[in-house]
Structure 1
Amino acid sequence: MASSIDLHPPIHWGQTLNSVSLRIGLTDVKYPKVDINESSIKFQATGCSGSRGEQLYSFEIELFEKIDAKTSTYRINDREINVNLKKKKGDTNNAWPRLTKASAKLPWLKADFDKMAFSEDESDQEQKKANNNNFNDDMYKSLRQDPRKTKPKAFLDHRTNWLLFYNLFQFTAYLLVFSRLIFYFIARGHLRNAYRLVENPIKLCQSLAVLETIHPLIGFTKGDWTSPLIQFLGRNLILFVVINFNNEIKASPVVPCLFLVWSFVELFRYPYYGIRLLNKDNRIIAWLRYTLWIVLYPLGAFLEGLTIYKSLNYYQSKRYFSIDLPNAMNFSFNFVLFLQIYLVLLPLGLIHMMQHMWNQRKKTLIKKNK
């Protein structure tokens, strides 16, 4: 539920000689209202920022100079809202010393120095002119004090390169899993005993997925870290515990079918992330990323539940991971009961995930088509 108290979202602003850009740090945006006129911008939306849950955010900024409201645009994506304000033609040779008309500092508004860009042909002359005529002492002071100014550009390049490598590696590994299972089925007409064929690559992929929780925590990516963590824990419970210690279920075709669904989802998720890192758009990949889940998520949840259900008798007889009384700790744990509770909660998690993905689909695909 959204809060009744309006909060200010974190905003980073940058500029070129022709435009001003704003990055509004909100995810899962709902009910956005953006009003851009020649002297100000008003914003209100429900969304998530950092560790906060869903809240109501708003702001109103009176701009330093007037802009061309008709050609100014905004776009809502998965991780943030991007606003592009076009400077008026007569003002395109001047750099703004600040975003706001008033000189008061706003704690939720920061300069994005990676976006303070000028054309190469005019860089020396225009930046000197801007420095002499427009940038005041406060701006110079903030340039020296802002920690991002001292961060090496190579760090940003290494971060992007690492994320590109990670997405490419995961895509390649899941493609290997998917291809091996498909070829196995074509050759034999069934998927029984196919687990051993893809055991190592699927375990490697799912182990490395912990990085998708670490990346937002260390600032490599934006967005929430809890959703990747929940998916990581759920999948690895099934893979490394339920399947790994159950020799009977490994021979079942249910497990390879589950791996096919997992890998097929990732064959479009990781390319989508990689393309976005390159600031490119591919409508086909985006459509597949935000459409195939409608079938694959329920199918995957069904196969996960079936895998757990077919393992209950095995873990009941073997008593793996269960702790019986009496013991020195005076503590008991019934692993089979835990799996039964997990089966009850699994549909609720599926509903939550599908609602989240549907909201993402509306923001990414439906609004773009309007």
Structure 2
Amino acid sequence: MASSIDLHPPIHWGQTSSTVSLRIGLTDVKYPKVEINQDSIKFQATGCSGSRGEQLYSFEIELYEKVDAKASSYKINDREISVSLQKKKNDNNSNVWPRLTKASAKLPWLKADFDRMTFSEDDSDNEQKKSMFNKNFNEDMYKSLRQDPRKARTKGFLDHRTNWLLFYNLFQFIAYFWVFTRLTMHLITRGNLKNGYKVVENPIKLCQTLAILETIHPLIGFTKGDYLVPFFQFLFRNLILFVVINFNRQIQTSPIVPCLLFVWSFVEMFRYPYYGIRLLNKENRAITWFRYTFWIVLYPLGAFIEGLIIYKSLDHYRSQGYFSITLPNRANFAFNFVLFLQIYLVLMPFGSLKQSPKPIALLVYFRSSPYDATHVESTQKDIAY
């Protein structure tokens, strides 16, 4: 067993009588390299683990017994990387591995996932499971089992962190769904989107204010991943909403603002349910596909509309002088808000290109099956659009 890099991702492993499963705890995975051989597995990727931020992680494990490399597979999603290894049949009837590694050395970044230690299809056959554990697992594994907090957790009840995140995602979904519905009804009854902003002004401001929690959650350990990406999303969206639009009554009556809110709300109606389902360790292929497919079109469309709103507001802020500071003053400091918006407009396309779908991701989207977003998740930042 060897590794060329000192940083190892946290790994939880489990097994059945025919398979071995690994959960690699990395988020925002980029450039993954997974090599599964019959007697080893090699891994290298850039990702986030805990509070470390984005780092390069790798490991190489020499397996306890041989596996069928062709029948083995892996999948990358938002929260982790799942690896499934197919055991090769041997003379041992139980076919249970006492450990994952060939060597008996204990690795701090490798832990047993006892929730995934199942050896019988019949859940009532507890005596068989118990005898297998007694025969194949040593005392250290029993201690880990007794200390595993997930074992002590009562099934059917969720922890406070998960309950809060479920409530937050449900609230945001309902709020954005309400915004989308109100704008749709306004369009149907009026025949246009003029003055549509006033119809949903308060709820959209509430949603965007609460989005600061998506920066706080990773900081306090409620969610994994980087806090900077959601922070800049929160900052720039609220610059558009609370400053550029809020202090320009002329742009508020324009149909272009409701168009932007249509884009925001439509995207979030799939993003928040996707997060809620992931919190429950479930998967919905339709929501996953919609969440990652609409993003391709709506991200550049939203960025374009934001830029158009800023451009149309330049004359207003130039004439009114809002947020600009002129000399002379006591602080001997000057700030031209119009110039700031112009610089923002120039830099905006570069920021959009940096976080927009890469060509390889677009190829995966259109060439993969309708519900296969696994490889796309490994190439994309989890951003608001």
Report the TM-score, using the length of structure 1 for normalisation.
Answer: 0.83
User: Quick one: which of 131, 136, 158 aligns to 2:138?
Assistant: 136
User: Quick one: which of 171, 174, 194 aligns to 1:172?
Assistant: 174
In the alignment, is the contact (CA less than 8 A) between 1:290 and 1:360 conserved in 2?
A: no
**Amino acid aligned to 1:283:** R
**Amino acid aligned to 1:106:** L
Matches within 5 A, 1:1-370: 6=5, 8-18=7-17, 19-50=19-50, 56-88=56-88, 93=94, 96-116=97-117, 120-123=123-126, 125-143=127-145, 156-355=158-357, 359=361, 362=364, 366=368, 368=372
**Amino acid aligned to 2:265:** S
- Distance in 2 separating the partners of 1:347 and 1:138: 55
CA RMSD of aligned residues (A): 3.4
Instruction: State the shift of 1:263 in Å.
Output: 0.9
Task: Show structure 1 runs of 5+ residues with no match.
Answer: none
Instruction: State the shift of 1:202 in Å.
Output: 0.6
SS, match of residue 99 in structure 2: coil
Instruction: State the shift of 1:222 in Å.
Output: 2.7
**Amino acid aligned to 1:21:** S
Instruction: State the shift of 1:22 in Å.
Output: 1.2
Q: 1:226 to 1:149 in 2, by over 3 A?
A: farther
Task: Show structure 2 runs of 5+ residues with no match.
Answer: 376-385
SS, match of residue 221 in structure 1: coil
In the alignment, is the contact (CA less than 8 A) between 2:61 and 2:101 conserved in 1?
A: yes
- Could you say which structure has the greater relative contact order, defined with CA pairs below 8 angstroms and 6 or more residues apart? 2
Query: What are the Cα deviations for residues 107-151 of structure 1, in whole angstroms up to 9, with x where unaligned?
Result: 43234455455663233x245434533333433454566677777
User: Which structure has more helix as a fraction of its residues?
Assistant: 1
In the alignment, is the contact (CA less than 8 A) between 1:94 and 1:130 conserved in 2?
A: no
Instruction: State the shift of 1:260 in Å.
Output: 0.8
**Amino acid aligned to 1:76:** I
Q: 1:216 to 1:117 in 2, by over 3 A?
A: farther
In the alignment, is the contact (CA less than 8 A) between 2:13 and 2:111 conserved in 1?
A: no
In the alignment, is the contact (CA less than 8 A) between 2:16 and 2:117 conserved in 1?
A: no
Q: 1:60 to 1:184 in 2, by over 3 A?
A: same
Query: What are the Cα deviations for residues 307-349 of structure 1, in whole angstroms up to 9, with x where unaligned?
Result: 1122223223333323333333333322222222211111111
SS, match of residue 293 in structure 1: helix
Q: 1:59 to 1:190 in 2, by over 3 A?
A: same
- Distance in 2 separating the partners of 1:329 and 1:36: 63
In the alignment, is the contact (CA less than 8 A) between 1:323 and 1:334 conserved in 2?
A: yes
Q: 1:168 to 1:117 in 2, by over 3 A?
A: farther
Q: 1:41 to 1:57 in 2, by over 3 A?
A: same
In the alignment, is the contact (CA less than 8 A) between 2:74 and 2:84 conserved in 1?
A: yes
In the alignment, is the contact (CA less than 8 A) between 2:29 and 2:46 conserved in 1?
A: yes
